């Protein structure tokens, strides 16, 4: 199967949340709960990785951004599970004729350490998206708000492929003229 440039789309996603001072707020990253860590402030569960993935997918097909689909002014999304939001976004892009080829995420944080939970987080997102999702942990080396452990940021890049790519049709015939 061959693809033309019209059969591929790339999207860039970004999300950032600051840490909460509310001790009852849990930290959720890529759908995984990190017990004993400070949670992030957000209207939903503030899962920066899932949010960045959703934004990358939406952007790739020109369907806006996560805030357009799940506004933080709508009480319906208060405390929402971001994995459910990502599932909804995958449904939108699939309905628009696209499949996810892969998503690559760069998470910037001083804590928590992601390496011990990387496989679990990658598998959770891969299961939801239906394609490989990779997560890389990066430190801000004590620079800026992220480096001062004030929050977590995530960058995501998604590659999409048209569900039924155009195939070249041969104009040749077997006529004996």
Question: Could you tell me the mean pLDDT of each successive run of 10 residues in the chain, 177 residues long?
Answer: 81 98 97 96 96 98 94 89 97 96 98 96 98 97 94 98 62 45
- 70 known member of a binding site: yes
Residue 34 is assigned to a structural domain of this protein: yes
- 152 known member of a binding site: no
The per-residue pLDDT for 175 is 47
- 74 known member of a binding site: yes
- 104 known member of a binding site: no
- CATH (domain of 155): 3.30.1330.50
CA 132, 138, 144, 149 dihedral sign is: positive
Containing domain of residue 34, as a range?
A: 5-162
Residue 38 is assigned to a structural domain of this protein: yes
- 73 known member of a binding site: yes
Interstrand relation of 151-162 and 8-18 (parallel, antiparallel or unpaired) = antiparallel
- 15 known member of a binding site: yes
- 49 known member of a binding site: no
pTM across the whole model: 0.90
First to last CA, the chain: 32
Residue 175 is assigned to a structural domain of this protein: no
- 14 known member of a binding site: no
- 44 known member of a binding site: yes
- 66 known member of a binding site: yes
Residue 171 is assigned to a structural domain of this protein: no
């Amino acid at each position: 199967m061959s693809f033309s440039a019209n059969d591929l789309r790339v999207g860039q996603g970004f999300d950032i949340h600051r840490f909460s001072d509310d001790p009852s707020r849990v930290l959720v990253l890529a759908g995984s709960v990190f017990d004993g860590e400070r949670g992030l402030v957000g209207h939903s569960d503030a899962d920066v990785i899932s949010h960045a993935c959703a934004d990358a997918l939406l952007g790739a097909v020109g369907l806006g951004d996560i805030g357009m689909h799940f506004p933080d002014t709508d009480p319906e999304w208060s405390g929402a599970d971001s994995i459910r939001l990502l599932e909804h976004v995958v449904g939108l892009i699939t309905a628009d004729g696209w499949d996810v080829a892969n998503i690559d995420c760069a998470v910037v944080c001083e804590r928590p350490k992601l390496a011990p939970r990387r496989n679990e987080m990658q598998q959770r997102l891969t299961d939801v998206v239906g394609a490989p999702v990779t997560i890389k942990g990066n430190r801000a080396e004590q620079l800026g708000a992220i480096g001062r452990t004030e929050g977590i940021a995530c960058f995501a890049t998604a590659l999409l492929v048209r569900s039924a790519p155009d195939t070249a049709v041969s104009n040749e015939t077997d006529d004996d003229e």
